[in-house]
Amino acid sequence: MLIAFVAPKKIVMTDSDVLILPGWQSSGPLHWQSRWQALYGYERLEQHDWLRPLRGDWIARLEEVLLARATPVWLVGHSLGCLLVAAWAAHSRQTARVAGALLVAPGDPELPTLRPALHSWAPVQQVRLPFPALLVASSNDPYCSLARAQQFGHDWGARFLLLGECGHLNADSGLGDWPEGHQLLRQVQAEAAAAPSPNP
């Protein structure tokens, strides 16, 4: 008789295993992150202070929520939410609680227009992420140059995808429910599930 064996690494992800990480000032009702939350029942990471985003506070909040989860999650970050993933991963010993990440339109806290509000986020963490990640960028993002987005992707060890001229990939970009982005999430989840398990 044949007995099927499922390796521990092959985790079937459900809608409850996706955690939305908005950026500075959170994501409004027309933002694709909010639409995904309504459409698919994903949980949103709520920060204590959206207007004064201190990196240490945001890292602590993400750690708190992940410690309360029973299974690994997929992180879906936008803008400052992308930098949160990198900052948290560089400081946490709980990275096994994350299955992977979709990182969309990272912001650059070293831009003169953003530096006053995001001073605690500079310099950006340059440590390779210990889980699979896909970074999606726009060629005309006003909050991050293409070169910087590519550098972030390289530093974090994330696969890089350029979508063209889509602004900050937010509500102003006219993405609506952004089904193409959701398909990207499903794609990277499937790729991670199909990847061979690391040797013990």
Instruction: Convert the pLDDT of each residue in 80-136 to its tens digit.
Output: 999 999 999 999 999 999 999 999 999 999 999 999 999 999 999 999 999 999 999
The full set of domain ranges for the chain reads 15-194
Closest CA to 85 of 27, 125, 142: 125
CA end-to-end span of the chain, whole Å? 27
CB atoms inside a 10 Å sphere around CB 137: 25
Q: Which helix (H) or strand (E) holds 18?
A: strand 18-21
pLDDT at 196: 72
CA distance 55 to 186: 29
**What is the value of pTM for the model shown?**
0.91
DSSP sequence for 146-198: HHHHHHHHHHHT-EEEE--S-TTSSGGGT-TT-HHHHHHHHHHHHHHHHSPPP
Specify the CATH number for 15-194; select among 3.40.50.150, 3.40.50.970, 3.40.50.1980, 3.40.50.1820.
3.40.50.1820
Q: Which helix (H) or strand (E) holds 162?
A: strand 159-162
| pLDDT tens-digit profile, the chain (200 residues) | 333 333 334 444 555 699 999 999 999 999 999 999 999 999 999 999 999 999 999 999 999 999 999 999 999 999 999 999 999 999 999 999 999 999 999 999 999 999 999 999 999 999 999 999 999 999 999 999 999 999 999 999 999 999 999 999 999 999 999 999 999 999 999 998 887 765 44
